[in-house]
């Protein structure tokens, strides 16, 4: 007698799914029967990772998308490709993120950490929101970090132009992930789309390898064997994406599958609305998207 897998019939998009936590998340959800789309910067690498996910998960329904998400034009192109490929979208996992010890401008002239870790998920989610609402009940999971607790949003210097620190930029973006999630949850009330954020733990991946701070590279070499495996780091993302226990749960921050209290700024509705509006202007989603009334947005 056959049995139905728990995610059969569901479609999931995971950004940054070619390695690390994102790939492990893709394997977990594909093994549960979902059709899974993964993204990376290079199509050949994304196709190769998709083939690995298919084999490991025993599920042929894995698709590869390519976009350098530091570029807003590429995020928009990715959204069009996803909307073309998927008539429904049940789960969006905003997993992509990075850390740079030095200030790097993007093609749009923005600071790379803020552009990739915060503005890319902000823009992609907004571009896919109608599809998520049409597929409700649906879920948006955004991968933040424990670094959010040290975060501060510097509205006077969001791009770190005056005084850049890699750690400060990362802390700020990871706090922005949670503020975005809480504001999104608020704006989506009554639509059946849930939005939650997650700290995956400290995980053995390629994270930060492109431009690592010297102390980080020494510490990470020493502690690397003690870190979570990517599969362990993916557990909470998979739980938020798939568990029936998460039905109706929104606007919360999770670590180790448990709801945790994040940085108190994440509950400051004036700050979360301000960040939303500033972000909307930076990605060209203007006029600012109004707060939804139960029943629908836009």
Ligand X SMILES: NC(=O)c1ccc[n+]([C@@H]2O[C@H](COP(=O)([O-])OP(=O)(O)OC[C@H]3O[C@@H](n4cnc5c(N)ncnc54)[C@H](OP(=O)(O)O)[C@@H]3O)[C@@H](O)[C@H]2O)c1
- What is the closest distance, in whole angstroms, from the C-beta atom of residue 195 to ligand X in the complex? 16
Distance of CA 198 to the CA centre of its chain: 9
Q: In what order do the strands lie in the sheet with 62-66?
A: 62-66, 35-40, 11-14, 91-94, 138-143, 193-199, 252-255, 258-260
From CA 240, how far away is CA 250, in angstroms rounded? 10
**Interface characters, 96-125, with ligand X (x: CB under 6 A):** xxx-----------------x---------
Instruction: Using the minimum distance from each CB to ligand X, give the nearer residue, 211 or 268.
Output: 211
Tell me whether residue 239 is one of the annotated catalytic residues. Answer: no
Annotated active-site residue in 86, 164, 170, 239: 170
Residue 135 or residue 237: which is nearer to ligand X going by CB? 237
The binding track of 59-78 with respect to ligand X, each residue x by CB under 6 A or -, is --------xxxx--------
* Binding string, residues 178-217; x marks residues near ligand X by CB under 6 A: ----------------------x-xx-xxx----------
What is the secondary structure of 114-134 as a DSSP string? IIIIIIHHHHHHHHHHHHHHH
Residues contacting ligand X: total by CB under 6 A = 28
CA distance 42 to 38: 11
Binding to ligand X by CB under 6 A, coded x per residue (else -) over 22-41, reads: x-----------------xx
Distance of closest approach, residue 236 Cβ to ligand X, in angstroms: 11
For residue 72, the 8-state DSSP code is: H
Tokens of 40: 């990376």
C-alpha distance from residue 84 to each of 68, 77, 78, 149 (Å): 19, 11, 10, 38
Instruction: Report DSSP state, residue 10.
Output: -
Which C-beta is closer to ligand X: that of 255 or that of 273?
255
Please give the sequence-ordered ranges of beta strands (E in DSSP) within the chain, or none if there are none: 11-14, 35-40, 62-66, 91-94, 138-143, 193-199, 252-255, 258-260
136 near ligand X, judged by CB under 6 A = no
Q: Is 145 in the site for ligand X (CB under 6 A)?
A: yes
- Could you list the active site residues? 170
Q: Which residues bind ligand X (CB under 6 A)?
A: 16-22, 40-42, 45, 67-70, 95-98, 116, 143, 145, 200, 202-203, 205-207
């Amino acid at each position: 007698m056959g049995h139905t897998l728990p995610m059969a019939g569901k479609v999931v998009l995971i950004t940054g799914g070619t390695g690390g936590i994102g790939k492990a998340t893709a394997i977990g959800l594909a093994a549960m029967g979902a059709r899974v789309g993964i993204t990376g910067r290079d199509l050949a690498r994304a196709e190769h990772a998709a083939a690995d996910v298919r084999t490991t998960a025993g599920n042929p329904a894995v698709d590869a998308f390519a976009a350098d998400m530091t570029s807003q034009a590429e995020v928009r192109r990715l959204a069009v490709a996803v909307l073309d490929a998927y008539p429904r979208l049940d789960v969006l996992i905003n997993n992509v993120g990075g850390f740079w010890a030095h200030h790097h401008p993007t093609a749009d002239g923005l600071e790379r950490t803020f552009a990739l870790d915060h503005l890319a998920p902000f823009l992609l989610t907004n571009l896919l929101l109608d599809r998520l609402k049409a597929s409700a009940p649906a879920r948006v999971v955004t991968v933040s970090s424990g670094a959010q607790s040290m975060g501060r949003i510097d509205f006077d210097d969001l791009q770190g132009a005056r005084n850049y620190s890699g750690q400060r930029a990362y802390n700020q973006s990871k706090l922005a992930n949670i503020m975005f999630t809480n504001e999104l949850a608020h704006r989506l009330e009554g639509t059946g789309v849930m939005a939650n954020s997650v700290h995956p733990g400290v995980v053995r991946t390629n994270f930060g390898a492109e431009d690592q701070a010297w102390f980080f590279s020494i510490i990470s070499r020493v502690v690397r064997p003690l870190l979570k495996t990517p599969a362990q780091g993916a557990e909470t993302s998979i739980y938020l994406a798939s568990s029936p226990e998460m039905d109706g749960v929104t606007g919360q921050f999770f670590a180790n599958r448990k709801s945790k209290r994040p940085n108190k700024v994440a509950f400051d509705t004036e700050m979360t609305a301000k960040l939303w509006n500033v972000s909307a202007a930076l990605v060209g989603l203007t006029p600012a998207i109004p707060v939804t009334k139960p029943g629908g947005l836009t």
